[in-house]
């Protein structure tokens, strides 16, 4: 077992927030291949050090996703993907009551996000205290959440302190490459007792005809590596690094830039069975 500042994992390879949905893969409409591979257990989430869920909010959200118009929320572009799912999710209550008992993973990390106030985060943290998960990821790097903190670092620090005090679980804070005060936010998280940082989220872009959305995949790797190095220079807590990982050697680029673990996200869309091959090869070595 590896100890990432209190988060005990069997290896350093994580499934990043998104492709595993609640640990069980996308539903059949969102991504049929991904769904089939998870349901038939060809993708084995239990092999990974951690499985981070899609971001869950206090209330259920439809987001922008409609099953009859999937191309409106996810598109393949030359060097990766753009998406604007808009946080479609079942809400924290249904996650805890319905999905969590069915999933039976001991490496599950719910990702949570708030839309109106930090209080929503705190309510969800208290609800998650009642279940047994590996850690909880606080997604503060989505445009919606940025509005809550409005770059108010004092408010952020107060929130982290309250979250750490309240949570029975280890906490991970997810940051983005374009976040203002990136290194300072990471340092504040560390000073408040947050256990680890994950970076990076999708990069906000505005692509003609698609509007503001998040870019992921190969084309963002350099931005992700730069962000991880910047964070690593300012904190000692572990960094779970990712963004554009497409091969095993990409993982080593992240380790060499200061990450103690890595996550795969868009790689599950491009070549869904490849991430676990990397984990299996690593275990054999
Ligand atoms: C389809 C899709 C859905 C995503 N959903 C979430 C999400 O709900 N919460 C979150 O924090 N990040 C989400 N992400 C961002 C990824 O977790 C990751 O941070 C980002 O895509 C960069 O990694 P990648 O280039 O390996 O995909 C999503 C990414 C994709 C492609």
> In this model, does residue 176 exceed pLDDT 70?
yes
Enumerate the β-bridge partners of residue 68. Answer: none
pLDDT tens readout for residues 201-235 = 999 999 878 888 999 999 999 999 999 999 999 99
Q: Are 200 and 223 in contact (CB under 8 A)?
A: yes
Question: Does the domain spanning 2-284 belong to CATH 3.40.47.10?
Answer: no
Measured on CA atoms in the order 176, 177, 178, 184, is the torsion positive or negative? positive
Measured between its terminal Cα atoms, the distance across the chain in Å is: 16
Overall residue count recorded for the chain in this entry = 285
With 0.75 as the threshold, say if the pTM is over it: yes
> In this model, does residue 273 exceed pLDDT 80?
yes
Q: For the chain, what are the domain ranges? A: 2-284
List, chain by chain if needed, residues with CB within 6 Å of any ligand 1 atom. 16-18, 54-55, 74, 81, 83, 85, 111, 139, 174, 200-202, 216-217, 220, 242-245, 264-267
**Residue 51: which residues within 8 A CB-CB, separation 6 or more?**
14, 15, 20, 23, 45, 105, 107, 108, 109
* Three-point CA angle 100, 49, 197, nearest 5°: 90
Predicted confidence band of residue 146 (pLDDT cuts 50, 70, 90):
low
Q: Looking at residue 86, what is its pLDDT?
A: 86
pLDDT tens readout for residues 69-123 = 888 888 999 999 999 888 999 999 999 999 999 999 999 999 999 989 999 999 9
Q: Which of 266, 268, 272, 278 to mutate to test the pocket of ligand 1 (most atoms within 8 A of CB)?
A: 266
Note the maximum CA span of the chain.
47
């Amino acid at each position: 077992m590896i100890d990432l500042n209190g988060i005990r994992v069997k290896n350093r390879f994580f499934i990043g927030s998104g492709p595993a949905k609640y640990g069980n893969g996308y539903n059949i409409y969102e991504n049929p291949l991904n769904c089939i591979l998870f349901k038939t257990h060809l993708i084995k989430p239990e092999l990974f050090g951690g499985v981070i869920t899609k971001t869950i909010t206090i209330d259920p959200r439809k987001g922008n996703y409609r099953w009859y118009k999937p191309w409106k929320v996810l598109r393949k572009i030359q060097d990766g993907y753009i998406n604007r799912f808009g946080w479609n999710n079942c809400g924290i209550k249904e996650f805890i009551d319905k999905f969590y008992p069915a999933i039976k993973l001991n490496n599950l990390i719910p990702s949570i996000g708030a839309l109106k106030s930090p209080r929503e985060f705190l309510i969800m943290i208290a609800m998650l205290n009642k279940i047994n998960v590996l850690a909880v990821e606080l997604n503060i790097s989505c445009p919606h959440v940025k509005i809550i903190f409005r770059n108010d670092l004092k408010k952020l620090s107060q929130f982290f302190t309250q979250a750490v005090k309240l949570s029975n679980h280890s906490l991970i804070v997810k940051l983005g490459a374009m976040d203002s005060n990136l290194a300072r936010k990471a340092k504040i998280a560390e000073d408040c007792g947050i256990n680890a940082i994950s970076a990076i989220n999708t990069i906000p872009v505005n692509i003609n005809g698609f509007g503001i959305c998040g870019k992921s995949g190969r084309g963002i790797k350099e931005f992700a590596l730069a962000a991880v190095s910047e964070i690593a220079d300012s904190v000692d807590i572990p960094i779970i690094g990712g963004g554009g990982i497409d091969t095993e050697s990409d993982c080593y680029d992240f380790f060499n830039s200061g990450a103690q673990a890595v996550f795969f996200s868009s790689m599950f869309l491009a070549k869904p069975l490849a991430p676990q091959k990397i984990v299996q090869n690593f275990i054999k070595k």
